[in-house]
Chains A and B, each alone.
Chain A
Amino acid sequence: MRLEISPNWRVRAITWADVPLPASVVWGQMRGLRRFLTADPLHVGVTFADSANEHFPPIGGALVIHHRMFGVAIDRVGKLLSWKEGVGFAVSDLSQRGKDVGFPHVCGYEAKAVDAGHSRITLSACGRWTARWVPRPVIKLWLWWVMAETRRSVEAEMRRFAKWRSSQRALVPQK
C-alpha cells in the first residue's frame, strides 16, 4: 500500500488486491459498478441519478454514493469519470456541500493480468484533504484502514466468486 500526503494536502492512496482469477473474469465482476463500489467500507450503496439505465451510467453520469460511518448515513455525490472496458474505471466522490470540503477525491479501479489465472486490481483514492486540523499521522491511519478494508473486501468477494466459478466450471463452455 502506498499513502502520500503532500505538503499542500494532496492525498494519494494506492493499494493492490491480488486475486486468483483471470483479468477478464475479474473485469466481469468489477463492471458491476453498484456492487463493486460498495467494497469501500464507507460505501453502502450507489444510485445512478439521471441515468436511463439503472445499472450503468454513461461516462460523466451522476452518482449518489450512500455512505455510512458509525451508524451515521451521509449521501455524497460524484460522476463516472472514466470507463475503459476490460481495464478499469474511476468515479469522483464529493461532498454535497461543494468541491472544496469533505475530502473531495477520485476512486479508481483497474484490473491487470499477472498471468493466465491471476490478476491484480489497483485500488486508488486521490484527492485533497480538507480537514487540515487533523494530524497527518491520523489521516494516514484513517486512509490505511479504508484502503486495507477495501482491499480485503475486494479480495474476499473475488475469492468467493472464484469458488463459485470453480463449482460451475464444468458448466462453463470453453471460448
Chain B
Amino acid sequence: MSDEPSEHEHEARDAIGEPRCLTCGYVLSGLPSPHKCPECGRPFDLDIASTVMTRVPFMAWTFWMPALLTAVGGGVLGSIFLVFAFGNWGVSVWFGAPFAVGAILGYRVRAAPMLLVLLSLVGAAGFITGMVSLQLAGAFCAMALGIIILAPVLLGLLAGWLLRRNLKESRFSQRSWLPVLLIFAALMGLGLVERLTDSPNRIESVTTEGVIAAPIEASWDGLVFYEEVTHPAPWILRIGLARPLSASGSGRRAGDIKKCVYNKGHISKRITAVNAPRLLAFDVIEQQIGYERDVRLVDGSFEFVPIGDGLTQVRLTTRYVPRLSPRWCWRPFEEIAVHTLHDYVIEGIRLRAECPRPAVIALRASD
C-alpha cells in the first residue's frame, strides 16, 4: 500500500477545499477577493466562509443511485448464481443476498441515517421486484420476502455503515471498490458452504379442520362429485397462489386418478384409500402448478367425522417436501398458504353439501 494519500483522500480534499460561487458553482480560486462571481455576479469574499461553498455541486440522485443499482443488481445477480449454480434456496439467498444489498448501501452511500434506512427499504423492494421479474418468486412469496428480508437488509446496512466508518480514515487505497467485491465474495462463500452442508428437508404436514352443516354422506358427495369450483376465491389465492378451478376423472375408488386443474397448472392424484364416507387419501403423482421450486407435494387426505346435529367435521391434510429454507422462516408462510387453500376447498365442499345440485344427486344414485 502506498504512503501517498489515497484517491479518496484526494477527492475528499478537493471536494472540501475548492471555493465556489454559492449560486452558480463557478470555481473562484485565484480570483481577486472580495469580488463578484464572473458568471452570476454574486459577491464573495474568499476569507469569509459563508460567502462561498466548498462542496462540489452534484445531483443528489447521482450520489446514491449507483450504489442502489450496484446493491440491487448485485443482490439479484448473486441470488441467480446461488440458485442456478449452487441450487441453493436457503440462508444464502434469503438472508445472505439481502444482507449484501444492505451492506453495499451502508458502505457506499454517505447519507443521514434516516435516509439510509429509507434507501435500504427501496433496495429491499428492488431486490424483491428483481426476484419476481425473474420468476424466482411469485406474488405470495414477494409478500413473504417483504417480511423475511427486512431484518437482513437492515443488519447489512448497519454492518456496511460501520465498515465505512472504520475505513473512512484509513489509507487503504482500494477501499472504494474492494469491500464491495468482498461482500459479494462472502455471499458466494456462504452459498458454497450452504451447498456443502445442505441436507434434504423432511416431509411436513399441514392439517386444516372445518365444520359443514350437512350430514356426513352429503359432505362426502360434496368432495367426490365436484367438477368445477365456482365460488369466489379469497384475495390471497387470487393474487398470489394457485387455486383449484375444476377436476376431472373419478376419485371414488383406490387406484383412480383424478386431475385437479389449477389456475397455474394441474395436479394429478392417485387415490390410495377410500373408506366412504369417512376417508379419502391420495398420492400426488404429478405436480405442475408453478411452485415446483418451493414445494413438492407428496400426498394428502380428506377425513369426515360426524359430530352430531347433522354436522360434519372435515379434516384436510397435505404433506409436502419443502424446498425453501431455513424452515423456521418459511414454515409460517407455507402454513398460511396451505391453510388458505384448504379453507377454500372446505368452503367448496360445504357449498356443495349444503346445496347439492341435481346432477350430483343423480350421480350419487347411479353410484
Give me the interface of A with B, judged by CB distance under 8 Å. 24-25, 28-29, 31-35, 38, 44-46, 53-56, 66, 68, 71, 73, 75, 160-161, 163-165, 167-168, 171-173, 175
Contact = CB atoms under 8 A, between A and B. Distances in A.
B10 A38 contact: yes
Contacts of A55: 17-19, 29-30
B40 interface: yes
Nearest to B4: A73
- Main secondary structure on chain B at its contact with chain A? loop
Contact of B30 (A53, A168, A171, A172): A53
B62 A160 contact: yes
A66 B10 contact: yes
Contacts of B133: none
A167 B59 contact: yes
A164 B25 contact: yes
Given A31-B29, A33-B29, A35-B56, A24 B38 contact: yes
Given A25-B39, A38-B11, A161-B25, 13 more contacts: A28-B38, A29-B27, A34-B14, A35-B14, A45-B7, A45-B11, A46-B10, A53-B30, A55-B30, A73-B4, A164-B57, A165-B25, A171-B23
B10 A28 contact: no
9 contacts: A24-B39, A25-B26, A29-B25, A31-B27, A32-B29, A44-B10, A45-B5, A56-B29, A168-B24
B58 A164 contact: yes
Given A28-B39, A45-B5, A34 B18 contact: yes
A156 B239 CA distance: 44
Contacts of A31: 27, 29-30
B136 to A, nearest CB: 34
B207 interface: no
A168 B23 CA distance: 8
B41 interface: yes
Contacts of A165: 24-25, 57
A161 B24 CA distance: 10
A172 B21 CA distance: 11
A28 B24 contact: yes
Interface of B: 2, 4-5, 7, 9-11, 13-14, 17-21, 23-27, 29-30, 38-42, 56-59, 62, 173-174
What 4 A-B pairs have minimum CB-CB distances, sorted nearest first? Answer: A45-B10, A56-B30, A28-B26, A32-B27
A59 to B, nearest CB: 10
Contact of A68 (B7, B14, B25, B38): B7
A87 B10 CA distance: 26
Contacts of A46: 10
Contacts, number: 94
A25 to B, nearest CB: 6
Contacts of B57: 161, 164-165, 168
B59 A160 contact: yes
Given A45-B5, A167-B59, A172 B40 contact: yes
A108 B27 CA distance: 19
A44 B19 contact: no
B2 A28 contact: no
Contacts of A54: 17
A34 B27 CA distance: 11
Contacts of A163: 59, 62
A168 B38 CA distance: 17
Contacts of B14: 32, 34-35, 38, 45
Contact of A66 (B4, B19, B21, B174): B4
A167 B58 CA distance: 10
B177 to A, nearest CB: 11
Contacts of B21: 28
A93 to B, nearest CB: 16
Contacts of A173: 23, 40-42
A44 B11 CA distance: 8
Contacts of B23: 168, 171-173
B40 A175 contact: yes
B4 to A, nearest CB: 5
A31 B21 CA distance: 13
Nearest to A35: B14
Contacts of A56: 29-30
